[in-house]
Amino acid sequence: MTEQNIISISTFCSKYEVPESFIHSLRKYQLLEVIEREGEAFIRVSHLQWVEKMMRLHYELDINMEGLDAISNLLQQIWKLQQENQDLKEKLTLYE
Amino acid sequence: MDYIDYYKILGINKDASQKEIRIAYRKLARKYHPDLNPNDKEAERKFKEVNEANEVLSHPENKKKYDQYGKDWKHAEHFEKTRQQQRQQRQRQSFHDTGEPFGESDFSDFFESMFGGARQGRQQVRFRGQDLRAELHLNLQDVYTTHKRTLTVNNKNIRITIQAGVVHGQEIKIKGHGGSGINGGPHGDLYIKFIIENHTSFKRHNNDLHTTVNLDLYIAVLGGETTIDTLDGKVKIKVKPETQNNTKVKLKGKGFPVYKKEGEFGDLYITYLIKLPTNLSNKEKELFLELSKLR
């Protein structure tokens, strides 16, 4: 993993103006993977979009961590169903 | 321009308190928020309505004006003009501009006509710019190879790389190319959805391609070679003797490129459609008759 692929939690939090405790809570609820390296904590750049989404839900809609956990599971199901739906539509065109 | 009943949108009475307005807004925002309704345009539309209703009703001065003039917005425009004239006069006198700039908005014409560019009583909160969504129509042949393309969004040219193998409906995010932030907030993102139109004789399923190839009767019976078109050019393939109609064969690695996996391809499935000869000559008829007697 290269340095470009990860961002330190302290840098992220100062840029987005969120407390570091928010990221640690996401980790506690297994909603985000945190990488430890030489005593510092990092998150993957590829996960930023997901963290931004969790931030919006938490800070704009007042959804607590338990709610984010439930939403996360439901969103996974929605995406899976949408993907299945798309696959089936494509399959159907083969017979049309 | 139609009158918009913001109270109805939030499902509250006209005498609702600020706390009740806030609760109603939060409840509906949680229901229609785009993050909770992926790929749902209707939810996105409703979310904008709810936001607009909250913008008016949660600010006492806006609410007062809406309550006073809401059903008769033309009078509100008149009211607004008079107010602006008074403000301009004051500005001329004091050489002081106290008006706040108003960034890009996503509000209805009704809202704009009533509240114009100035959101009264607004706090200096930094808002991230709006995410923009665009569709890019491409042909199947276009996405067979990785290529660059220049798009014009909001009068700005953006050069993007379109990776081979993108699928119909796939969306990519271009960070920071959305709407401008308000009060110094960050730019939103630009989401580009690929709409892939297929004008070829191939049908695509995931990374595999499917096609039908006409096969000469004699090659089907005796075996031989035939040349077929692929998206990568012509390919000569061997046909086994006694190949039956509707036989399906797989050409490994001749399908569609796998997204972001250079050098990896799906397979090409060919269904043979055996063409029987027509307008037979007398000689051919004789030979077919002879053949039939042998069976």
Structure-token pair, residue B136: 């890019």
Radius of gyration of chain B (CA): 32
pLDDT tens by residue, A41-79: 999 988 998 999 999 999 888 899 999 999 999 998 998
pLDDT value of residue B66: 85
Query: Is A49 within 8 Å of B30 when comparing Cβ atoms?
Result: no
Rounded (10°) CA dihedral B4, B7, B13, B17? -140
Report whether B6 contacts B50 (CB < 8 A). no
Q: What ipTM was assigned to the predicted interfaces of this complex?
A: 0.72
**CA-closest candidate to residue B158, choices B181, B136, B130:** B136
Whole-prediction pTM = 0.46
pLDDT value of residue B71: 59
Q: Which helix (H) or strand (E) holds A54?
A: helix A48-55
Q: Which residue has the higher pLDDT, A15 or B84?
A: A15
Per-residue pLDDT for A91 more than 80?
Answer: yes
Q: Would an 8 Å CB–CB cutoff place B27 in contact with chain A?
A: no
Nearest residue, CB atoms, A86 vs list B30, B169, B210: B169
DSSP 8-state code for residue A67: H
Contacts of B145 (CB under 8 A, 6+ apart): B164, B257
The residues in B 141-170 lying below 8 A from A, measured between CB atoms, are 168-169
Token look-up 């399923």 returns B205
Structure-token pair, residue B55: 């913008």
Helix (H, G, I), strand (E, B) or coil at A13: helix
Token look-up 């491409």 returns B138
The residues in A 66-95 lying below 8 A from B, measured between CB atoms, are 71, 75, 78-79, 82, 86-87, 90-91, 93-94
Contacts of A48 (CB under 8 A, 6+ apart): A7, A12
pLDDT tens by residue, B216-260: 999 999 999 999 989 888 999 999 999 999 999 999 999 999 998
**CA-closest candidate to residue B129, choices B97, B154, B111, B162:** B154
Query: Is A56 within 8 Å of B168 when comparing Cβ atoms?
Result: no
Query: Is A60 within 8 Å of B33 when comparing Cβ atoms?
Result: yes
Cα angle B195, B146, B187; round to 5: 65
Helix (H, G, I), strand (E, B) or coil at B118: coil
pLDDT value of residue B122: 39
Query: Is A78 within 8 Å of B210 when comparing Cβ atoms?
Result: no
pLDDT value of residue B96: 34
Q: Which residues pair with B147 in a beta bridge?
A: B162
Rounded mean pLDDT for each run of 10 residues along chain B, 295 residues in total: 84 91 90 86 89 89 81 55 55 36 54 59 57 86 90 80 90 84 76 90 92 94 93 91 94 92 92 94 94 89
pLDDT value of residue A20: 93
Report whether B209 contacts B231 (CB < 8 A). yes
B264 vs B166: CA distance, rounded Å: 13
Helices vs. strands in chain A: H and E counts, helices first: 5, 3
Report whether B25 contacts B50 (CB < 8 A). yes
Contacts of B69 (CB under 8 A, 6+ apart): B75, B76, B79, B114
Report whether B43 contacts B60 (CB < 8 A). no
Structure-token pair, residue A92: 């159907």
DSSP 8-state code for residue B178: S
The residues in A 23-52 lying below 8 A from B, measured between CB atoms, are 49
pLDDT value of residue A31: 93
Mutate to test the interface with A, among B19, B28, B30, B194 (most CBs of A within 10 A): B30
Query: Is A61 within 8 Å of B29 when comparing Cβ atoms?
Result: yes
Report whether B178 contacts B236 (CB < 8 A). no
